[in-house]
Amino acid sequence: PVVMYQYSGPSSQEVLNRWQIDWMDAFAAAGYVVVCVDGRGTGGRGRDFCDVVYRRLGYFETIDQIAAARYASSLPYVDSSRIGIFGWSYGGYEALMCATAQDCPYKAAVAVAPVTDWRFYDTVYAERYMLTPQQNEDGYRDSAPLWRTSSLACPLLIMYGTADDNVHPANSLEFVSRLQRQGSFCDMNHSIYGCNSRAVVYAKMLDWFNKNL
C-alpha cells in the first residue's frame, strides 16, 4: 500500500536532498510505501512552474498529484487498489481537492487542518494568489473543496485543532456540515497540539490507513 504525502503550497518544497527521521519512517516500517511529489505551483523549478497556479489554486496541483498516484500504481511493488493521500494545512486542502476529484484514484484520504474555501483564510495570503472574491469569483468557487463535497470518492479523516490560529476550525466544520446535509459522513479527530497530541495525530492516521487501505 502507498501513502502519498504532499504540501503542494505555492513556492514550497518537500522533496529535498536531506536526512531526517519522521513519521514517514514509522509508516515505512509498518509496510507502507511513502511517496512525496512536488507538483506545479511549488518551488525549485523556476518562476513559470510556480506561477501557473495564480488565480486558480488547487487545479494544477490536483492534476499532478493524481498523475503521480497513477504512476505509482504502475510500479510492480505497489498495490494499485491501496493508495491513500495525506496532507497538513495546504496539504490538507490539496488532499480534499484530490479526494473530491472526478477521477480520484485514492482508497482513503487524511486532511489535517485543511482550508476548505479561500474565503475563510487570511486575505493577505489568499488574495496574493487569488485576488479578491469579487475579482475572481469563478476561481474561488472552483478552488474550494467546500463546493465539491458531493464528489467525495473515498473514506475521509479530517483532523483539526480547536485553537488553530492559522486555519480556522470553521473550514473543517463547514465542510463536515455540508457532507452531513448531503447524507455523507467522514471521521473526525480534534487533537493536534499539547499533551503529546502530535503522536496522537500520526497514530490516528496510521490506524485510519490500516483500516481503509
pLDDT tens readout for residues 146-191: 999 999 999 999 999 888 889 999 999 999 999 999 988 788 765 5
Q: How far is CA 63 from CA 69, 78, 95, 115, in A?
A: 10, 20, 12, 18
Q: What's the pTM?
A: 0.91
Residue 155 has which C-alpha cell? 473514506
Sheet of 2-5: strands edge to edge? 33-36, 2-5, 83-88, 108-112, 156-159, 187-189
Three-state DSSP class for 56?
coil
Residue 190 known to be catalytic? yes
* Cα(2)–Cα(192) distance, integer angstroms: 24
Instruction: Specify the residue for cell string 497530541.
Output: 197
- Three-class DSSP labels, 149-191: HHHCCCCEEEECCCCCCCCCCHHHHHHHHHHHHCCCCCEEECC
The mean pLDDT of 99-124, rounded to a whole number, is 96
Residue 172 known to be catalytic? no
Residue 168 known to be catalytic? no
> Which one of the listed residues 73, 80, 142, 164 is annotated catalytic?
164
Confidence of residue 10 (pLDDT cuts 50, 70, 90): very high
| Of the listed ranges 11-15, 141-145, 165-169, the one predicted with least confidence | 165-169
> Which one of the listed residues 89, 117, 143, 172 is annotated catalytic?
89
Q: Given this model, what pLDDT does residue 194 score?
A: 52
Is residue 171 exposed (0-12), middle (13-18) or buried (19+ Cβ within 10 Å)?
buried
Q: What angle do CA 38, 119, 90 make, to 5 degrees?
A: 20
> Which one of the listed residues 25, 81, 190, 207 is annotated catalytic?
190
pLDDT tens readout for residues 21-57: 999 999 999 999 999 999 999 999 999 999 999 999 9
CA 158 to chain centre: 10
* Cα(135)–Cα(170) distance, integer angstroms: 24
